[in-house]
A and B are shown apart, each in its own frame.
Chain A
Amino acid sequence: MICSPTGTGKTLTAFLPIFSDLAERLDRDELFARTTALYISPLRALGYDVEHNVRRPLREMGLLERPDSERDRVRRGRIRSRFVRTGVRTGDTPTAERRLMLSRPPHILLTTPESLAVMLAMESYRATLRDLRYVVVDEVHALAANKRGAYLSLSLESLEEIARAPIRRIGLSATVAPLEIVAEYLVGTERACTIVDTRSLREISLEIRAPFTGAMAPLATIARAARSAIDRAGTTLVFTNVRSQTERIAYELRALEGGDRASPAVETIEGDAAPRPSDARIGVHHSALERSVRHRTEARLRAGELRAVVCSASLELGVDIGAIEQVLLVGGARGVVTTLQRVGRAGHSPGALARGVVLAQDRDDIIEAAATRRCIADGAIERIVLPRAPLDVLAQWMLSLVVPERRIEIDAVLEIARRAAPFRGLLREDLLACAAYLGGGGVADDPAHVRRLGFDGHAIWGLGRDASTAFFENVGTIPDERSVPVRIAGERSFGRLEEDFVDRLRVGDVFVLEGRTVRVESIDRTGITTRAHRGRPTVPQWNSHVRGIATPLVEEIERLRDGVERRLEAGERAEAAAWLERRYALDAGLAEKTVSYLEQQRAVSALPHPHRPVIEIYILDALQSAVVLTGIGRRANEALARVAATRVTRLVAGEVSILTDDLGFLVQLPARARLADAQWERLLDERAFERDLRDGLLGSSLLRTHFRYVANTGLLVLRRANGRSLRASSLRWNSGRILDRLVREDERFPLVRETFRSVCEDVLDAERALRYCATLVAPPRIVHPPVASPMSFGILTSSFGDRVAVADRSELVEALHERLLAYLAGAIAP
C-alpha cells in the first residue's frame, strides 16, 4: 500500500517491479502470452495513464512491442512473446479490440472495476487471467469508501480464486487515513500488507482571504478576488463546492475578462452577446458537462492555453492537467483530505510547495479555513469508513459468480466474500436472503416470475444465456444519475442537467451552464432547448451535490467556537482574538472578523455548545420556524432534522418543511401551527430516535432515490434489458410506490434493509446524530432572537432561495446583516 500525494510518481513506483519482472522473463525467453499484471483505476479515461506511466517507460527500455515488430513464436509448445504488450479494456473498448485481446492477451492490462467484473464472469477472459501475478489498484482512496470499491474488493477475491498462485496486490492512494483500514481493504482480511507512507514529501500552504467587510461576499466580489489572484500567479485552478457555483464564477470571470459584464440593473436583452466559452481563456470543468467538453478543457489546460479553470470535484482526481501555479478554494473545501488533494494539484513536482488560497465567502468560511489549517498542522484527517457489507453489491457479485452456467456452494460464496474487508462481518442469513431473492423467491410469500439464478438452499447456479444478460447489461454500482441534455436551438447539446433540477424548470427560466447564460425555450423528452441570453439568471441552481463538512474539521470548529466563547464569557475580548492568532495563525483582521461574528451571535442569540444546541424560534412569512443550531455537520444534521420533523408532524397538522446545513437545521411549521418552548425543548430526545428517523425517511425523496440505486445495483429492477435502456423505452419506474409496497410486504427484504443502511450510514451520519442526542448535557436552549442571528443567515437565506432570484441571495444576507447591526446599535427594539 503506497500512500503519497498526487504527482509524486507513485504509479511508476508500482510498475517498476512489474517491468523488471517482465524484462527478466524476456531475457529468459519465458514471456508467455498471458496477462501478468492488471492495473485497475476508477477513471474511465485511461489513455493518458497508459501512455505516460506504462508505454513510455517500456518504450524507453526497449521492451514495448511496436506495430511492425516480430510476432510471438511458438517454442517447446508454448507461445513466447518477443516484446511486452499492453492493452486497455473499459466499457468504451471496441469489440474488435476485445477479440484481439483474447487471442493475444496483453501482458499488462489496464481496466476499470466494472470491466474487471465483466471479465471475471466470462470464461474466455478468466482463462487469460490464470497466470496473473500483480494487481495494481490506483486511487484506492477514491474507491475504498463507496460501493464501487466494495464491489472491487469482491472481484479481487474472485480473481484470487482463479489465479494459479497468490497475486501480489499493490495499492496506490493519495492522502487517506487510517492507512491500516485502507490496507486491509486492499489485501482483504486474511493477508498481510506492507504500508509505504510518504505523505510528508510535499508541503502545502493555505492562505485565507476574506474579500468582504460585512457578513458575506457576493459571487461577483469573489470572482474579482479570484481574478486578481489569477493575474498575480500563472495557471490557476479554482475549486468550488457546488456545480452551480462553478458556472457562476466562470461566468463572472469571463465577463471580467471580456470587460463588458452585464450589469444586474440592465433589463434582459435577447441575443447572443454573452461572452462565448470558445474565446475565453477561463475554462469550466464539472461532471455535468459532456465528456468531449471536459476533455477539450483538460487538453487546453495542459497546452497552457487557459489562465484558469473553474471546477468542482471533477479535477480532484488524477487527470493530468499540466503545471498549475496555484489553487483557489472558493468557500473552502469542506474537509482536510479534500483540501490537501485540491491544493496538492498545484506545484506539481516533488518537493515543491503547493500554494492554496481560500476565498472566504462568509465568516463561517474563515472559521472553516482556520480549522482546516489547524487540522493539517495536527495531522488530523478524516477517517475513511468502508461500507458495511452492502447487500446490493453482494447480490450482483453473486450472479457474476455463476453466469452463465456455473454452480457454487453457499458456504464457498460466504468464505470468499468474508475475505473482502467490507464484507468481513457478512451474516450467513443475509447471504441466504440475497440468494433466495435472486432465486425468484420474491417477497414474503409472493414469488416473482423472474429468476436471476438458481438456488436450492445450499448452492446457487447460473440459468443460461438469458439470465446472464441481466448481469452483463447492468454491471456496476455507479448510480444512473439521471440527466437531461441541454442544447442551444439548432446546435448539439453542450451539457446536462440533473433530472431533479429539470423537474423544477419552466419555460422562460434563465440559468447558467458551461459558462453560458441561457433561457429555456422548451422542455421535452429529448432534452432542453435553450437560447443564449444576456442578463441575470432567474433560477436558484441545484444543490444536490453540496458536501458537508467532515468530522475532524467539525470538531476543530467546535473547539474554535468554544475557545472564543469562553474568553468572551470571561470578558477577555482581546485575548479571544489573540488566541485565534496564536492557535489558528489568523492575521489580526481575520481574527477580528471571527470574534465579532461570534460576539454578534451571542448578542442576539447564543452560541451552540458542543453538548447543548440552541433553538432559535422565528416567525417567517407568518410561519413558525425553528433554527436548531448544533454545529455537528450537515450529514448528522440531516438525520436530526428528519427525526425532528417526524416528531413535529405528530404535534401539528399539515406540511412540515426542513432544511439543513453544516451549522444546524430549520424546521418550518405549517400555517397557523405553533409549538410552545417546552415542546421544542423535547425535540432531540434520544429515546425512539431510530424509529423516528425511519418514519421520517419513509416517503422521503432521499430514501426513494437511494432505493432506486440499490434496486438497480442489486438487480431487483434492471437499468437495461435486451440491449436498450428501460428508462428510455418506458416511464421512469415508480421507485416510491415499489418501495412502499416492499416495506409493507416485508421490511426485512435484503434490498430494503440495504436502502436504509446506505442512507443512514453512507449518506446521513445517523450514528453521530444519535450520539449527539444521547450526550446532551442539558435541554436545548430556546431563544427568540429579535432579528435573524448571524449563524442562521445561511440557512434562512437558503430557504428564501427557493423563492427569489439567485443574485439576490447575498443582498438578502446583507439586508439581514444590516438589520442585525441596527439592532445591536439599539436602533431596533427587541
Chain B
Amino acid sequence: MNAAPRALSVALGGGAHALPGGLLWLEATASLVVADLHLAYEEAIGGALPLWSLDESRTALEDACAAHGARELILLGDVVHGTRLSEGAAARVTATIRRLRRLCTLTIVAGNHEGATRGAELLGECVEEVERSGMLLHHGDRPRLSGFRHVIGHLHPSIALGGDRSVPAFLVAPEAIVLPAASSYSRGLNVLGRDCRAAIAAYGARAGSTDVIAATASHCYPFGSIASLARAARELRFAR
C-alpha cells in the first residue's frame, strides 16, 4: 500500500477496516475492535483525580457501535490501566463495562495491565485470545506463533511529530495488524523506532512491508510503509 489521501476507513484485507479513533472493523462478524483503553488511568497512576476519560471512552464506543451497527465489541486488552483502584473507581469501571455489555455482545481480551488475575475481578469474564474471520485476536503482550494473521494492541504505535506530540497509528502487515491505543493518555511508541521494529519482527513483519495508517478522531491517513515513512521523515526532518 502506498501513501494515499485521507479516508473515513481503509481496507486492510480479509474484511478488516481501519477506522478513525483507532478502531478496527471486522466485516464478517460485524465486530468493532478497540485496544488499550486504559480506563481509570487517572487513578491507577496514583492520582486523586476525577476519572475524566471513563465516560468519554464509553460514549465514543457507544457512538461507534451505533454508527456501524456492530453486533460485537471486542476490547483487546489493557481495558483498565491498573487493577488496584478505590472502591468508587472500581464500581464505576464495572458499571461502564455493564453498560457496554448492554450495547451488543462484549468480548474482553485480557492484557498485561489487567494484572495477575487478567482482569477477572474487575471486568468479569476475560479471554486470552479469540479468532475472528481467520485472524487471531490477542493483546500482544505474549507474542505467539500461529498460522493466523494476528490482530494485537499493546504496542501503542504512533507517529512522533516532534516535541511530545504524536498521532496514533495502525501498523498493517500481512502477518499482523497492530491497533493504536485508544487511551488519550498514551504517549505512543514511535513507529520509526527500533523498539517498534523489534516488536513487530516477533510476528515476522518487516518494515518494508508494514504500512502505517495514522488515525485521528475523524479520519485515517495512509502513510505507506514504515521504511518509506522513515525515508520521508529523514528528508523532511520531522521525526526521529
Instruction: Give chain B residues whose Cβ lies under 8 Å from the Cβ of A741.
Output: 52
Q: Tell whether, in the assembled complex, residue B86 and residue A443 are in contact, meaning their CB atoms are under 8 Å apart.
A: no
0/1 interface trace, chain B 37-69, chain A, CB 8 Å (1 if under): 000001111111111100000000000000000
Our pick among B46, B85, B186 for the contact of A717 (Cβ within 8 Å) is B46
B84 on the interface (CB 8 Å rule)?
A: yes
CB distance from B166 to the nearest CB of A (A): 11
Asked if A450 contacts B81 (CB within 8 A), the reply is no
Contact call B50/A451, Cβ cutoff below 8 A: no
Flag if B163 contacts A730 (CB, 8 Å).
no
The interface residues of chain A lying within 8 Å CB-to-CB of B194 are: 507
Q: What is the 8 Å Cβ interface bit string for chain A, positions 718-736, against chain B (1 contact, 0 not)?
A: 1111100010001111101
Tell me which residues across on chain A come within 8 A of B51, comparing CB atoms.
449
Flag B143-168 by CB within 8 Å of A: 1 or 0 each.
Answer: 00000000000000000001110000
Report Cα–Cα, A736/B43, bound state, in Å.
16
The answer, among A446, A447, A655, A721, for a CB contact under 8 Å with B46, is A721
B218 CB-CB contact with A under 8 Å: no
Partner of B45, one of A447, A655, A726: A726
Within 8 A of B (CB), among A722-774: 722, 726, 730-734, 736-738, 741, 745
Q: Let me know if B134 is at the binding interface, CB within 8 A.
A: no
A734 and B46 contact, Cβ closer than 8 Å, known pairs A449-B51, A449-B86, A450-B86 = no
Which of the residues A443, A701, A726 comes within 8 Å of B49, measured between beta carbons?
A443
- Establish whether residues B81 and A730, one from each chain, have CB atoms under 8 Å apart when the complex forms: yes
Say yes or no for B117: interface residue by CB 8 A criterion: no
Q: Does A318 reach chain B (CB closer than 8 Å)?
A: no
A673 interface residue, CB < 8 Å from B?
A: no
Q: Shortest distance in angstroms between A547's beta carbon and chain B's nearest beta carbon?
A: 25
Contacts of B43 in A (CB 8 A): 448-450
Of B45, B48, B92, B187, which one neighbours A440 at CB under 8 angstroms? B48
Q: Given that A722-B84, A738-B49 are known contacts, is A730 also in contact with B187, CB under 8 Å in the complex?
A: no
Point out the residues of chain B lying under 8 angstroms from A736, CB to CB: 164
Q: Which residues of B contact A448 (CB under 8 A)?
A: 43, 47-50
Q: How far is the CA of A744 from the CA of B61 in the complex (A)?
A: 23
B164, A701: Cβ atoms under 8 Å? yes
Of A442, A446, A449, A711, which is within 8 A of B89 by CB? Answer: A449
Q: Mark A694-712, 1 if CB is under 8 A from B, else 0.
A: 0000000100100000010
B49 x A442 contact (CB < 8 A): yes
Q: Which residue of A lies closest to B84 (CB)?
A: A722
CB distance from A304 to the nearest CB of B (A): 48
Across the interface, A738 reaches (CB within 8 A) one of B47, B82, B89, B187, namely B47
| Least CB distance, B228 to chain A, in whole angstroms | 21
Partner of A719, one of B46, B89, B92: B46
Which residue on B lies nearest to A721, using beta carbons?
B46
- List which A443-466 residues lie within 8 A (CB) of chain B: 443, 446-452
Contact with A along B79-93 (1 / 0, CB 8 A): 001101111110010
Q: How far is the CB of B122 from chain A (nearest CB, A)?
A: 14
User: Taking CB as reference atom, which chain B residue is nearest A445?
Assistant: B50
> For B50, what are the chain A residues with a Cβ–Cβ distance below 8 Å?
442-443, 446-448, 745
For A733, the chain B residues whose CB sits under 8 A away are 45-47, 185
- Assuming the contacts A701-B164, A736-B164, A737-B184, asked whether A730 and B47 have C-beta atoms less than 8 A apart, the reply is no
| Most A Cβ at <10 Å: residue of B48, B84, B163 | B48
For the complex, is A715 an interface residue (Cβ under 8 Å from B)? yes
Q: Does A438 contact B (CB under 8 A)?
A: yes
Any B CB within 8 A of the CB of A384: no
Q: Are A734 and B185 within 8 A (Cβ)?
A: yes
Our pick among B48, B184, B186 for the contact of A450 (Cβ within 8 Å) is: B48
- Pairwise interchain contact A716-B49, C-beta atoms closer than 8 A: yes
Taking a contact as CB atoms under 8 Å apart, the answer to whether A437 and B48 are in contact is yes
A717 smallest CB distance to B (angstroms): 5
Chain A residue nearest to B238 (CB atoms) is A655
Contacts of B89 in A (CB 8 A): 449-450
Nearest to A700 among chain B residues (CB) is B163
Q: When the two chains form their complex, are residues B44 and A731 in contact, meaning their CB atoms are under 8 A apart?
A: no
**Which chain A residues lie closer than 8 Å to B185 at the CB level?**
733-734, 737-738
User: Which of B48, B86, B164 is within 8 Å of A716, CB to CB?
Assistant: B48
Taking CB atoms, residues of chain B closer than 8 Å to A701 are 163-164
- Answer whether A730 and B48 are a contact pair too, CB < 8 Å, given A507-B194, A737-B185: no
Nearest CB to that of A438 among chain B residues?
B48
Query: In whole angstroms, how far apart are the Cα atoms of A134 and B178 in the complex?
Result: 64
In chain A, what residue has the closest Cβ to B92?
A: A449
A730 and B44: CB pair below 8 A?
yes
| Chain B, Cβ-Cβ closest to A450 | B48
A719 neighbours in B (Cβ, 8 Å): 46
- Please, which residue of chain A has its CB at the minimum distance from the CB of B52? A741
Give Cα A734–Cα B185 distance, bound, in whole angstroms. 6
In the assembled complex, how far is the CB of residue A556 from the closest CB belonging to chain B, in whole angstroms? 38
CB-CB under 8 A from B87, the residues of chain A are 449
Which chain B residues lie closer than 8 Å to A732 at the CB level?
187
B227: min CB distance to chain A, Å: 18
Complex Cα spacing A733 to B82, Å: 12
- Report the minimum CB–CB distance from A714 to chain B (whole Å): 9
For A447, the chain B residues whose CB sits under 8 A away are 50
Alpha-carbon distance A731/B82, docked complex (angstroms): 11
A815 vs B86: C-alpha distance when bound (angstroms) = 63
Instruction: Name, among B46, B87, B186, B187, the residue most crowded by chain A CB atoms within 10 Å (CB to CB).
Output: B46
CB pair B48 A731 closer than 8 Å: no
**Minimum CB–CB distance for B181 against chain A, Å:** 10
Q: Is the CB of B52 within 8 A of A446?
A: yes
Q: How far is the CA of A734 from the CA of B156 in the complex (A)?
A: 14
How far apart are the CA atoms of A443 and B49 in the complex, in Å? Answer: 7
- B48→A715 contact, CB < 8 A: yes
A716 touches B88 (CB 8 A): no
Q: Which residues of B contact A442 (CB under 8 A)?
A: 48-50
| Residues of B close to A507: CB separation below 8 A | 194
Interface string of A63-86 (1 = CB under 8 A from B): 000000000000000000000000
Complex alpha-carbon distance, A731 and B184, angstroms:
14
- In the complex, which residues of chain A have a beta carbon less than 8 angstroms from the beta carbon of B45? 717, 726, 730, 733
Point out the residues of chain B lying under 8 angstroms from A721, CB to CB: 46, 84
Chain B residues, Cβ within 8 Å of A716: 47-49
Docked complex Cα distance between A438 and B194 (Å)? 42
On chain A, the residues within 8 Å of B81 by CB distance are 730
For residues 422 through 446 of chain A, which have their beta carbon under 8 Å from a beta carbon of chain B?
437-438, 440, 442-443, 446
Q: How far, in whole Å, are A745 and B45 apart by their CA atoms in the complex?
A: 19
Give A344-361 interface residues, CB cut-off 8 Å to B.
none
Q: Once the chains are docked, how many angstroms separate the CA of A717 from the CA of B184?
A: 18
Nearest-CB distance from B236 to chain A (Å)?
A: 10
| Measured CA separation A704–B164 after assembly (Å) | 10
Q: A734 is contacted by which of B84, B85, B88, B187 (Cβ under 8 Å)? A: B187
Task: Give the chain B neighbours of A737 by CB distance below 8 A.
Answer: 184-185
Closest A residue, CB atoms, query B187: A734
Instruction: Known A-B contacts: A448-B50, A711-B47, A733-B46. Give 17 more (CB < 8 A).
Output: A440-B48, A442-B48, A442-B50, A443-B49, A446-B50, A447-B50, A448-B48, A449-B86, A449-B87, A450-B86, A450-B89, A721-B84, A726-B46, A730-B113, A732-B187, A737-B184, A745-B50
| 18 A-B contacts (beta carbon < 8 Å) | A448-B49, A448-B50, A449-B43, A449-B92, A450-B86, A450-B89, A507-B194, A701-B164, A704-B164, A711-B47, A717-B47, A719-B46, A720-B46, A726-B45, A726-B46, A733-B46, A733-B47, A734-B187
Which 3 residue pairs spanning A and B have beta carbons closest together? A718-B46, A449-B88, A446-B50
